[in-house]
Structure 1
Amino acid sequence: MRMASKKGIVLLTMTIIMISLFIGCGNNTMSKIYNDDSKIANVSDTFGLDESEETIESGIYKGKLKLSGSGTIWAYESSTDFDLQVPYTLSINGGKAKIVLISPDNKVVNLVENTAKATIKGETVLTVPIKKGNNRIKVVGYEKADINIELQIDKGTFKKISF
């Protein structure tokens, strides 16, 4: 009986350690995506989302997110190269976040980056260098970034990050 009890305690302790490691590494893994263009450029999204309020209506995406990792919010198949003017707002209440364009050749272009200490107030305009082929815009968050974002684009298709 005593030997079985010791094995049970060891097994329980090992299980708790393993669960703690997985939980501890989960958000850290998502945050590592922030500086990894190859993971950001991936067609599939990789993120942890603690909070999500997203709306899409007639060419306008609005989101309040708590995000670690990257999520696609817009896609556009272009027949030519051109510069697209995109009115936007981006404010961060914690962590840091950026809006990136992934061009058809999977190159990641940082369009704007913000931290809680350097928040842009009001609407500004991004110049987005659209290339012939499939272009995507993603929001990328670091350490559960608390993000408020709005983009206005009359081309392409917006989609929600949330499941």
Structure 2
Amino acid sequence: MKKGILTLVAAGFISFMISGCIMNTGAKVYDNDEIIAEEYNSYNLYKSSQYIEGNCLTGSAEKLEGMGMVWIFDAPEEVDVNMEGKVTVSSGKAKLVMIAPDDTLTVLREYTGDSKEPHEFTDTFRVERGRNRIKLIGAKDTRIEYEISIDQGEMKTFGD
């Protein structure tokens, strides 16, 4: 009797793990604007490190798939925001997407794994009154290093 129960529990656990791997949508969100605009994060990170110092987010991942919010700003009025940083994508592809209060998306930066050199950038963009967000999105098997500073709002790490 105990052996039968253990076998059933083991089979259930294996089925759960397999279905979780098959249903992983992290890499499938890259080109889906509707999912990107959602409030939640959906990602897989492997060998990742992240930290925030002041208004600067620094991080890396041997594998990033999916999306994570890295910045949020509840703007009291329409205002210009300054962003600078550097991103290195060694494999896969990644992008920074701004999500306006009405869930309109603007791709701020997009990179493919074509170079081991960092892509440095400085941008000024206008945000609308209300809740503005930026998400970092990685396609399948994206290897990335990043450093992003924004002069207003709040920087966040994946999982915050």
- Superposition TM-score tier, normalisation by shorter sequence: 0.7 to 0.9
TM-score normalised by length of structure 1:
0.81
Q: Match of 1:75?
A: 72
> Which has the larger share of helix?
1
CA distance in 2, matches of 1:134, 1:92: 28
Q: Which runs of 5+ in 1 are unaligned?
A: 1-10
1:132 paired residue among 125, 129, 132: 129
> What amino acid is the match of 1:49?
L
Q: TM-score when scaled to structure 2?
A: 0.82
Task: Pick the structure with greater CA Rg.
Answer: 1
Query: How much is the aligned-residue C-alpha RMSD, in angstroms?
Result: 2.7
Paired-residue identity, %: 30
Looking at structure 2, the residues matched to 102 and 69 of structure 1 have their Cα atoms a distance apart, in angstroms, of 16
Q: Distance in 2 between matches of 1:75 and 1:53?
A: 20
Shift of 1:33: 0.4
Cα separation, 2, equivalents of 1:88 and 1:82: 20
What SS does the aligned partner of 2:27 have?
helix
- Give 3-state SS (helix, strand or coil) of 1:123's partner: strand
Q: Which stretch shows the higher mean deviation, 125-134 or 108-117?
A: 125-134
Maintained 8 Å contact 1:52/1:162: no
Structure-1 separation of matches of 2:136 and 2:84: 15
Q: Flag the 1:17–1:160 CA change in 2: closer, same or farther, 3 A.
A: closer
